[in-house]
Chain A
Amino acid sequence: MYQFDYHRPTSLDEAAQILSQDDEASLLAGGQTLLPTMKQRLAAPSQLVDLSGIAELKGVREDSGQIIVGAMTPHDTVANDKTVQAKIPGLAHLAGEIGDPQVRNRGTIGGSLANNDPASDYPGAVLGLGATVRTNKREIPADDFFLGLFETALDEGELIKEVAFPVPKKSAYAKFHNPASRYAIVGAFVASTEQGVRVAITGAGPCVFRVPEMEQALNSNWSADAIKDIKVAADDFNTDLHASADYRAHLVTVMAKRAVQAAG
């Protein structure tokens, strides 16, 4: 690791101020992605701004019929939260399938979304449920948040405060995981919401995406059968030693069917 200065501010304003004064400063959440990257010297921030001292960023609450998850809430808390389990079981299930118990004890939703790893799970739920990412500056709808490979709509110095999830009628997440890391080779999040069905796919391409053909089919017939013949093009899909682009395209249909079945 290269040298850096460490800070643990106790307010959002203080954190934002340090960021605004130094382009090379980086936020530190659970550190489950950033610290390994720094050890490999692929990242070399001049300062680390640890968000763990800001109490308002942590925890799950219900507000105006939505479930609000603070940016610093660890995956384990979301997985075991009674309200999340009751209202959005697909979200609790997804959080409980991330990595391993120790990663879930430290890794956070804010860090996961800001990083936007193509194989990460949370983008599936955020896009699949049509959630809103609330930052220290604005509210960003999920449809506008995920821009590409490791790329989000967050500006320089902007930080995620919390994520607001609308409660769907039903939802589920089905993941074909990498057996070593548990990251998604393909993950499908399906939700039946007041505004219609949403289907979000993570792991397959450079960035999470929706599948409108499946959404339409499920709007008129909520069943795994309704989407069994809908195929997605493998054009820009990921190919690696775990799975080829074509196999990933095949898995999109399989996982989406399983998610619909699991949602019931």
Chain B
Amino acid sequence: MPTVTMTVNGQQVSRDVDPRTLLVDFIRNELHLTGTHVGCDTSQCGACVVHVDGTSQKACTMLAMQADGCEVATIEGLAKNGELHPMQAAFKEHHGLQCGFCTPGMVMSAVDLVQRNPDPDEHEVREWLEGNICRCTGYHNIVKAIQHAAKEMRG
């Protein structure tokens, strides 16, 4: 089996894997970082979104081997020193979640948006969330949370 090496949340990890291993399965089953979810497994829902080399990507539509040598960030890597990332704090504060299944993907996707566009308007947030599906909230509070977090992150 080939060996894959990547940096996940700042730590280098190396494992022998079957080349068929999806990045999301590698993260969940090998690294036991189960915050990254599998909703559809067909590239539609965005529950599996992580960052690869700084941009948001669907980890169910990527092989672990494709992340060889890359920097991967998952939801577990966002909080620093026990303090929630502003995006996580805003989701909590503004009720941007109900069951929470879509939330890790939503948050990782939203962080990518705010990194590119520090002050997105409502329309831009909604357009950006095209690849993230939520069955509970109706999106309204998610949009609100992201805009508040953006403000917080601008300082």
Contacts and interface: CB of A to CB of B under 8 A. Distances in A.
Contacts of B2: 6
A1 interface: yes
Interface in A87-132: 99-103, 105-106
Interface stretch (B6-14, B51-59, B72-80, B91-99): B51-59
A181 B95 CA distance: 28
A165 B130 CA distance: 29
B68 interface: yes
Nearest to B43: A36
A8 B62 contact: no
Contacts of B62: 31, 35, 106
Contacts, number: 67
A103 B43 contact: yes
A101 B128 contact: yes
B134 interface: no
A48 B21 CA distance: 13
Contact of B61 (A5, A101, A106, A182): A106
Interface in A50-93: 50, 52, 76
B123 interface: no
B107 to A, nearest CB: 14
Q: Identify whether the interface residues of A are mostly helix, strand, loop, or mixed.
A: mixed
A39 interface: yes
Nearest to A34: B61
Contacts of B131: 99-103
Interface residues on B, range: 20 to 34
A201 B65 CA distance: 37
Given A4-B19, A52-B66, A31 B61 contact: yes
Interface residues on A, range: 20 to 34
Contacts of B42: 36, 39
A32 interface: yes
B113 interface: yes
A102 B57 contact: yes
B89 interface: no
Nearest to B64: A6
B119 interface: no
Given A5-B19, A39-B41, A101 B68 contact: no
Contact of A6 (B56, B65, B109, B132): B65
A21 interface: no
Nearest to A3: B20
B46 A50 contact: no
A95 B2 CA distance: 35
B63 A101 contact: no
Interface string A24-51: 0000100110011001000000001010
Residue of A6, A35, A99, A181 ringed by the most chain B CB atoms within 10 A: A6
A6 B19 contact: yes
Contacts of A76: 55
Interface string A178-200: 00111000000000000000000
A129 B18 CA distance: 43
B90 interface: no
B71 interface: no
B49 interface: yes
Interface of B: 2, 18-20, 41-44, 46, 49, 55-58, 61-63, 65-66, 68, 109, 112-113, 128, 130-132
